[in-house]
Amino acid sequence: MKRPFLVLVLIGSLVSASSVAAQMGGNEPGGITVTGTGLVSAPADSVTVEFVISDLSAMYSGMPMMPEAEATPGAQIPARISPVVDALSGIDGVGDVTVALPPATNPYGGPVPLARITLTVANPAAEQLLSIVTEAVVIAEIEQLAVSSVGAMFTVSDCASLDRAARQAALDDARAKAEVQADLIGVSLGDIVSLADDMYGYGTGTPSSGCEPEVPGMTYFGDPFSGATLPPFDPTRDAPEVQVLRMARVTFAFAVGDATPAA
């Protein structure tokens, strides 16, 4: 008497499994799915360099300190910062030197950030940026201060071309990977049947690129504990260029006539 019930249960299970498989994409055509990566770069048209100047002799602890003036360009400049500002302003090619007074927001305490100095340079060269950073460090030390953070943001006028080139490079990389996979299982590639941006392809490894999208209300790659807002920059290591990274998840169908390989 229990056999009909078991048969019905098995049939119901098979129907449910088929339904779930369909909902999960079981009816999608077979193929090879890979992730392609494209990284392109171009010399920067301009750069914004940021220095956070701190007083290592003045430590704070407990509740974070707040600035005495509004943290916007044009705020009152502490007298001890003036020599650094004057030195940077006098360097050939440096423009738009501005000063802000960042709050000390590290809840664990630390050196007091006195000012955040930003400047711009058009068509920057590596040697030029190294000279600028060195000057800031040297003058700060003379005034018994420290450059606690150096950041930079590089920009170009034509981000669209870089974005397109990075996407093409990602597609080329995906096809190369898929061809290897196809050769391993003895089939040929057909057309692309699915293409999607990979969310990890935006900004990954390229924090100082001015071509990356910004989200209002969020600060990327800076150090809010020290008052920094731009990505870290090392003139001895980082080239004065804009990099754009794109990743694409691509599915290639099997070529017509090729049998779907057995799992």
Which residue segments constitute the domains of the chain, with CATH numbers given? 29-42+158-254 (3.30.110.170), 45-155 (3.30.70)
10 Å CB burial of residue 17 (0-12, 13-18, 19+) is exposed
Do 231 and 220 meet the contact criterion of CB atoms below 8 Å apart? yes
Give residue 211's pLDDT: 85
Choose the most confident range, by mean pLDDT, from 92-96, 199-203, 255-259: 92-96
Give residue 121's pLDDT: 97
Per-residue pLDDT tens over the stretch 151-176: 999 999 999 999 999 999 999 999 99
Q: 44 phi and psi, to 5 degrees?
A: -70, 140
DSSP bridge pairs for 155: 46
The alpha-carbon radius of gyration of the chain (Å, integer) is 28
Where does the chain have alpha helices with state H?
2-23, 82-89, 126-142, 159-185
Per-residue pLDDT tens over the stretch 99-144: 887 655 555 566 667 888 999 999 999 999 999 999 999 999 998 8
